[in-house]
């Protein structure tokens, strides 16, 4: 795959939380097979998707990730028997929370990529990169941050007077 190098205005920041035994190994296989894909993703390795706390996903978005990928072993194939089932259940509930909060669920993707599926890793990452590129940068958390800063730095005359009145 030696496609023409395209220059884009926006390069999305993607984080992938993957399990060591399946998806990380699948990504390694993609490397060993010299398959090419966009360089936007940063991989964080876990022993199992069962270890992934939803807080990590939130933090990733807060720190500027435009898209998050969580990927593990296929159901039934978890190296630790059932970790991926717990992950699946946890994230089903978490997605509803995120939706309620107002995050576009298209920015968060779950996939099952096995150690033999180098090609699938490439597919998942490429599709996600292009989708997030179309969606544009994630502004929600940054706007929230800015709001908080702004209100903390409010310098109205009443507040100044109250401050000066403190004995």
Partner 1 sequence: MSRIGVFVCHCGENISRTVDVEKVAEASRHLLGVAHACDYKYMCSDPGQALLKKAVAEHKLDGVVVAACSPRMHEKTFRKATVQAGLNPFLCEMANIREHCSWVHEDRDEATAKAIDIVHMLVERVKRNRKLQPISVPVTKRALIIGGGIAGIQAALDIADCGHQVVLVEREPSIGGHMAQLSETFPTLDCSQCIMTPKMVDVANHPNITLHTYSEVEEVDGYIGNFQVKIRKKARSVDMGKCTGCGVCMAKCPQKKIPNNFDQNLGMRSAIYVPFPQAVPNVPVIDRANCTFFKSGKCGVCQKVCGPGAVDFEQQDEFVVEEVGAVVVATGFKLYDISEKPKGSPIKGYGEFGHGKIPDVIDGLTFERLASASGPTGGKIIRPSDGKEPKQVVFVQCVGSRAREKGISYCSKICCMYTAKHTMLYKHKVHDGQAYVFFMDARTPGKGYDEFWRRSIESEEAVYIRGMVSRLYQKGDKIVVMGSDIAVGIQVEIEADLVVLATAVQPREGADQLAQKLGISYDQYNFYSEAHAKLRPVECATAGVYLAGACQGPKDIPDTVSQASAAAAKVMTLFAKDQLEREPIVAKVNERFCVGCFACKKVCAYGAVEEKEIRDRQGNLVKVVAYVNPGVCGGCGTCQATCPSKSVELDGYTDEQIMAMIETL
31 binds partner 1 (CB under 8 A): yes
Token digits for 76? 């039934």
In the shown chain, the binding pattern of residues 98 to 117 toward partner 1, with x for contact by CB under 8 A and - for none, equals: ----------------xxx-
Residues 6+ apart with CB under 8 A from 154: none
Nearest CA among 123, 31, 34, 19 for reference residue 72: 19
Q: Name 81's bridge partners.
A: 78
From the list 8, 9, 23, 37, which residue makes contact with partner 1 (rule: CB under 8 A)? Answer: 37
Nearest CA among 98, 101, 102, 100 for reference residue 110: 98
Cβ distance to partner 1 smaller for residue 76 or 167 = 76
Question: Which phi and psi (to 5°) does residue 9 adopt?
Answer: -75, -35
95 binds partner 1 (CB under 8 A): no
The contact set with partner 1 (CB under 8 A) reads 2, 5, 13, 15, 20-22, 24-25, 27-28, 30-32, 34-37, 39, 42-48, 50-53, 55-56, 59-60, 63-65, 76-77, 79-83, 86-87, 90, 114-116, 122
């Amino acid at each position: 795959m030696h496609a023409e190098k395209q220059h884009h205005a926006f390069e999305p920041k993607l984080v992938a939380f993957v399990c060591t035994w399946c998806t990380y190994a699948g990504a390694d296989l993609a490397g060993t097979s010299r398959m090419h894909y966009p360089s936007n993703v940063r991989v964080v390795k876990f022993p199992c998707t069962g270890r992934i706390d939803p807080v990590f996903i939130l933090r990733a978005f807060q720190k500027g990730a435009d898209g998050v990928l969580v990927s593990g072993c296929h159901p039934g194939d978890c190296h630790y028997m059932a970790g991926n089932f717990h992950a699946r259940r946890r994230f089903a509930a978490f997605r509803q929370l995120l939706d309620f909060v107002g995050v576009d669920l298209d920015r968060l993707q779950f996939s099952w990529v096995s150690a033999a599926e180098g090609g699938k890793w490439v597919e998942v990452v490429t599709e996600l990169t292009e989708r997030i590129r179309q969606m544009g940068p994630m502004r929600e958390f940054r706007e929230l941050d800015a709001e908080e800063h702004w209100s903390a730095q409010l310098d109205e005359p009443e507040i100044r007077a109250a401050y000066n009145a403190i004995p």
